[in-house]
Amino acid sequence: MSPRVVQYHFTDKHHLLVTALQMLHRENERRAQERIAALRDASDPRMLLRATLEELLPLDDERRTSLRVMTAYYARSLTDPALAAVFLHEGSPLEDLVAALITAAGARPSTDAAREADLLVGGVTGLGLDLLHRRRTRADVRRTVDYHLNRILAEQP
């Protein structure tokens, strides 16, 4: 693509960066929804919950690259309000989805599904960064996720 075409569509480099981040968010969400939709027919809500959390992990080249790019954008968003607005949008759809899945999977009676969803999404995101750095293995991360799911979900019959 020629620089002239890029300049026609974007007022400046910053506009290009913000638009690219918005597109990356939409594309990540679309791919995750496709992979999760393929599991929707599964009768095990616990499996669907685990698969949803694993969408946050860099388990293939596409998700590894995406996480690297998102992390670079996130660091820059700490000093750039326009980029921060992309990360700090209204609501928390991912956490809401995870909370609903926790409830559907049979949360223990004393479990606050919304708080657990916040912790799980944040924790799995951090574990994903550890995977990128090879600080942890996939098996380690899966054991940690399973540990927390076992802690908050009632025993399976």
For residue 116 the two structure tokens come to 């657990």
Where residue 119 falls among pLDDT bands split at 50, 70, 90? Answer: very high
71 against 33, higher pLDDT: 71
pLDDT value at 7 more than 60: yes
Per-residue pLDDT of 57-69, as tens digits, reads 999 998 899 899 9
Q: Does domain 3-152 have CATH number 1.10.357.10?
A: yes
112 against 16, higher pLDDT: 112
pLDDT value at 2 more than 70: no
Where residue 113 falls among pLDDT bands split at 50, 70, 90? Answer: very high
pLDDT at 86: 81
pLDDT at 83: 84
All structural domains of the chain with their residue ranges:
3-152
Kind and range of the H or E run holding 66: helix 61-77
Place of tokens 């019959």: 157
CB 53 within 8 A of CB 145: yes
Percentage of the chain lying above the pLDDT 70 cut: 90
Alpha carbon dihedral 13, 69, 30, 141, in 10-degree steps, equals: -160
Per-residue pLDDT of 80-103, as tens digits, reads 998 888 888 777 888 888 999 899
